[in-house]
Amino acid sequence: MTQMNLVFPARVLRGAGVINQLGEICASLGQRALLIGGHQALQAVEAQVRAQLLAADVTLLAQEWFGGETSLNQINRLAAIATELQAEVIIGVGGGKSLDTCKAVAAQLGLPVVTIPTIAATCSAVTPLSIRYDDNGNFFDIFPLPQAPAAVVIDSTLLAKAPPRWLAAGLGDTLAKWYEFRAVSSRHPAKEGNALSSLAHSKICYDVIAEHGPASYAAVLRGESSSALDQVLDAIFTWAGLTSLMSNGAHAAASHAIYEGFTFCDKTREFGHGLLVGFGNLCLLALEQRSDDEVLAEMRLARDCGVPLTLTEIADLDTAELALIVRESVHAPDMANMAETVTDERLLAAIARVEKLATQ
């Protein structure tokens, strides 16, 4: 018999103004809170966080910048600060790297963490893992954590005000759940209940974004919240998170491998995880040798969700830089989940095909 270990977030709140429940949530977890996040995220939510904690009689010990990278050095630095301040709960705000850093700090110290995403770029807010990098931003590993967030606060009003490119990143990253899991299942068909559940959730992610993604992106371009945005936020955070949780991480393939390759190039590593994954989705479809009609249809969906369709939208790369990205992508662990072996030549051909179809 095999063992199963699924780690879920204890509470997920999504909707307009749910950040106003933060005080109540934190008071149930501890009386001494440390706020950690990115510079812009801290600026966006500091006043609301302070007001909520004050009303709930929770002490805000300090606010700290997460350090810019989810690296061992930054995690250890912040853990030392939290220990010195005798923090009882960590509040993490920002995007994927910030939240992954906060989750790792809390797990290292055995403290509860509340995540407040300020951009809808990944499902990091809900997952019990951290994608770690070295101090220079090069991909290091995917590190499983023994705990998930105690609470996830997904405020659609806050997220509607974020730069639209970050919603586009979330849409691209979440579409990958279906494209990649389908590719993985072609090699290892889902048979066990957890894998079947993960596959079903990944299809829900795709269906919700296919129906509501373009409208949600258009609304955020106008700085507006909408019912379409609420739907895709559920896909980006909840359904995508469940896909990852139920698969125990065995659902990634070429899209994420290509992203990992992009992190080795100075020009592209900071472009945005989900935007690079979104481009990787199109390359994955080309690697699977899907028909032009199918690839073009998925490219239209990607375009309407703000995902880049060409390398030139990402960066002006020379031959050596592209060769580096391709080489690192091919050797990334996730690429081994593809049904057929991917070589440098095959990936270059797939990228060239995507570039050509983009002109149509």
Helices (H), ranges, the chain:
22-27, 39-55, 72-85, 96-109, 156-160, 164-187, 193-221, 227-233, 240-247, 254-262, 273-287, 292-304, 319-331, 344-358
Judge whether 316 is annotated as a binding position.
no
Strands of the 12-15 sheet, one edge to the other: 12-15, 151-155, 113-117, 89-94, 32-37, 59-65
Judge whether 39 is annotated as a binding position.
no
Query: What span, in angstroms and rounded, lies between the C-alpha atoms of 329 and 263?
Result: 9
Helix (H, G, I), strand (E, B), or coil: what is residue 190?
coil
Judge whether 57 is annotated as a binding position.
no
Judge whether 256 is annotated as a binding position.
yes
Element (H, E) at 151: strand 151-155
Q: Which residues pair with 131 in a beta bridge?
A: 142
Judge whether 251 is annotated as a binding position.
no
Contact 172, 165 (CB under 8 A): no
Amino acid at 203: K
63 token code pair:
């606010």
Judge whether 188 is annotated as a binding position.
no
Judge whether 193 is annotated as a binding position.
no
- Would you say how long the chain is, in residues? 360
Helix (H, G, I), strand (E, B), or coil: what is residue 316?
coil
Judge whether 130 is annotated as a binding position.
no
* Ramachandran bin of 248, using left for φ above 0, alpha for ψ from -120 to 50, beta for the remaining angles: left
Query: What span, in angstroms and rounded, lies between the C-alpha atoms of 330 and 345?
Result: 10
Judge whether 242 is annotated as a binding position.
no
Comparing C-alpha atoms, which of 356, 327, 358, 352 is closest to residue 342?
327
Contact 45, 93 (CB under 8 A): yes
| Bind-site residues for NAD(+) | 96-100, 127, 129, 133
| Bind-site residues for glycerol | 173, 256, 273
| Bind-site residues | 96-100, 127, 129, 133, 173, 256, 273
